[in-house]
């Protein structure tokens, strides 16, 4: 399917009840169980809701990933990804990340014992040299916000894999229309949907990320 068609039809299943070609907004907190402990696949809206599921499937299809997960903001998605790490883990980050991402790493996760090293990831040699110590993950944007710095996603992915590390890419400034980091070897992709994914500056706190199942299986 071409991406133009995918943006309309990806993840969008026809509503079984009415035949609606667009996904209805399910405004319910709780879903009735068919019998004790048996449900339709939906139980409680915080964990899963059909409207959100359609959005998650769409971003999964657009990024060609295994799973998609929607959050209330880009920072919520980033915080969730960083929560995968444990006390004592180290991450390698680009020196040109979005300020909010840097702040949550430096001011919040560092207090929880997740340490970081910051380097210029636009030079692959810097990335290679940094791996003289172990890192659980490399976190980059390409292009970066706001300086539009470029890093070689495929090259960094190769180095990360050689060292048993994963690559997280914030793809906010490109969207899957122009760049698909998972196909270049990244393991996790994050978006702030308020930017080019939404496209019209009329979408608040709408964000998702798509990830390879390696992390979530």
Ligand X SMILES: Cc1ncc(COP(=O)(O)O)c(C=O)c1O
Strand partners, 190: 170, 209
Q: How far is the CB of 70 from ligand X (least distance, A)?
A: 12
- What residues are annotated to the active site? 46, 98, 170, 195
Site for ligand X, rule CB under 6 A: 73-75, 98, 100-101, 141, 145, 170, 172, 192, 194-195, 207
Q: How far is the CB of 51 from ligand X (least distance, A)?
A: 19
Which CB sits closer to ligand X, 50 or 96?
A: 96
Q: How far is the CB of 136 from ligand X (least distance, A)?
A: 20
Sign of CA dihedral 162, 165, 170, 171: positive
Q: How far is the CB of 185 from ligand X (least distance, A)?
A: 20
What region does 148 belong to: left with phi over 0, alpha with psi -120 to 50, or beta? Answer: left
Instruction: State the residue number with the nearest CB to ligand X.
Output: 74
Strand partners, 137: 91, 166
Which CB sits closer to ligand X, 50 or 186?
A: 186
Contact indicator for 59, 191 with CB cutoff of 8 Å: yes
In terms of C-beta density within 10 A (0-12 exposed, 13-18 middle, 19 or more buried), how is residue 165 classed? Answer: buried
Backbone phi and psi for residue 109, each to the nearest 5 degrees, phi listed first: -70, -25
Q: How far is the CB of 163 from ligand X (least distance, A)?
A: 25
Which CB sits closer to ligand X, 135 or 209?
A: 209
Query: Shortest CA distance to 204 belongs to which of 72, 100, 101?
Result: 72
Backbone phi and psi for residue 89, each to the nearest 5 degrees, phi listed first: -70, 150
In terms of C-beta density within 10 A (0-12 exposed, 13-18 middle, 19 or more buried), how is residue 84 classed? Answer: middle
Which CB sits closer to ligand X, 75 or 160?
A: 75
Which CB sits closer to ligand X, 11 or 100?
A: 100
């Amino acid at each position: 399917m071409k991406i133009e068609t995918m943006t309309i039809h990806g993840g969008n299943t026809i509503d079984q009840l009415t035949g609606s070609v667009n996904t209805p907004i399910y405004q319910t907190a709780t879903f009735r169980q068919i019998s004790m402990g048996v449900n339709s696949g939906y139980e409680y809206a915080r964990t899963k809701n059909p409207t959100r599921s359609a959005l998650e499937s769409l971003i999964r299809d657009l990024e060609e990933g295994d799973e998609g997960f929607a959050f209330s903001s880009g920072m919520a998605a980033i915080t969730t990804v960083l929560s995968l790490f444990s006390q004592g883990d180290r991450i390698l980050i680009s020196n040109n990340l979005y300020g909010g991402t840097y702040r949550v790493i430096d001011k919040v996760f560092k207090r929880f014992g997740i340490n970081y090293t910051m380097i210029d990831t636009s030079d692959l040699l810097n990335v290679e040299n940094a791996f003289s110590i172990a890192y659980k993950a490399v976190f980059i944007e390409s292009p970066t916000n706001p300086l539009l710095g470029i890093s070689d996603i495929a090259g960094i992915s190769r180095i990360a894999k050689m060292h048993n590390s994963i690559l997280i890419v914030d793809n906010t400034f490109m969207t899957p229309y122009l760049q698909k980091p998972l196909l270049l070897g990244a393991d996790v992709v994050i978006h702030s949907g308020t930017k080019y994914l939404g496209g019209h500056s009329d979408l608040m706190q709408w964000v998702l990320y798509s990830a390879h199942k390696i992390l979530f299986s």
